[in-house]
């Protein structure tokens, strides 16, 4: 009967002795990879922040330009006496303002897209490097 009690323990011991633990990863390599991941994330955040600042600066320039043009337009409108000439001038100003607004929106959208693309490029490059590092670590352990 005591042989039966030892049997599960013997089976367990045999199973544990046959179990192979995978090689421990290179802790220094993992720490180095994590440091590079953090650096890439920081660089991407920096690019995104610089892009956001450029967009904000451009928005401010556009606003200042628009205010200046509106002031000039109001001054030029006050001098027109002929209603037909005034209506023609208003239509021209509206057309010019609309075209400028569309151009400004396109410019800002391009700035945002460029900034996002640069930040994403930094992250994609690091991801590719990280995958190569993982393959190298696995190959070393294999």
- Confidence category of residue 7, pLDDT binned at 50, 70, 90: confident
Give me the pLDDT at residue 5, please. 54
Structure tokens at 106: 């396109």
**pTM score:** 0.64
Could you tell me if 2 and 102 are in contact, meaning their C-beta atoms sit under 8 angstroms apart? no
Per residue in 82-130, pLDDT (tens digit) is 888 888 888 888 899 899 999 999 999 999 999 999 999 999 999 999 9
Instruction: Please tell me the distance from the alpha carbon of residue 142 to that of residue 136, in angstroms, as a whole number.
Output: 10
Q: Is 30 helix (H, G, I), strand (E, B) or coil?
A: helix
Per residue in 13-70, pLDDT (tens digit) is 676 666 655 555 677 888 888 899 999 999 999 999 999 999 999 999 999 998 998 8
Give me the pLDDT at residue 84, please. 86
The domains of the chain are located at 44-142
Neighbours of 89 (CB within 10 A): 16
**Of residues 141 and 30, which shows the higher confidence score?**
30
Cα–Cα distances (Å) from 11 to 1, 3, 4, in that order, read 16, 12, 11
Give me the pLDDT at residue 42, please. 94
Contact residues for 115 (Cβ-Cβ < 8 A; gap 6+): 47, 48, 50, 51, 52, 54, 55
Give me the pLDDT at residue 22, please. 57
Under DSSP, the state recorded for 24 is P
Neighbours of 129 (CB within 10 A): 14
Neighbours of 122 (CB within 10 A): 19
């Amino acid at each position: 009967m005591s042989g039966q009690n030892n049997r599960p323990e013997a089976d367990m011991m045999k199973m544990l002795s046959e179990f192979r633990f995978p090689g421990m990863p290179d802790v220094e390599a993992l720490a180095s990879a994590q440091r590079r991941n953090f650096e890439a994330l920081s660089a991407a955040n920096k690019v995104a922040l610089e892009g956001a600042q450029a967009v904000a600066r451009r928005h401010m320039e556009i606003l200042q330009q628009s205010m200046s043009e509106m002031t000039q337009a109001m001054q030029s409108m006050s001098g027109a006496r002929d209603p037909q000439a005034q209506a023609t001038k208003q239509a021209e100003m509206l057309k010019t303002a609309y075209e400028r607004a569309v151009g400004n929106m396109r410019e800002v959208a391009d700035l945002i897209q460029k900034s996002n693309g640069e930040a994403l490029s930094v992250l994609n490059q690091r991801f590719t490097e990280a995958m190569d590092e993982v393959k190298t670590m696995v190959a070393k352990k294999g």
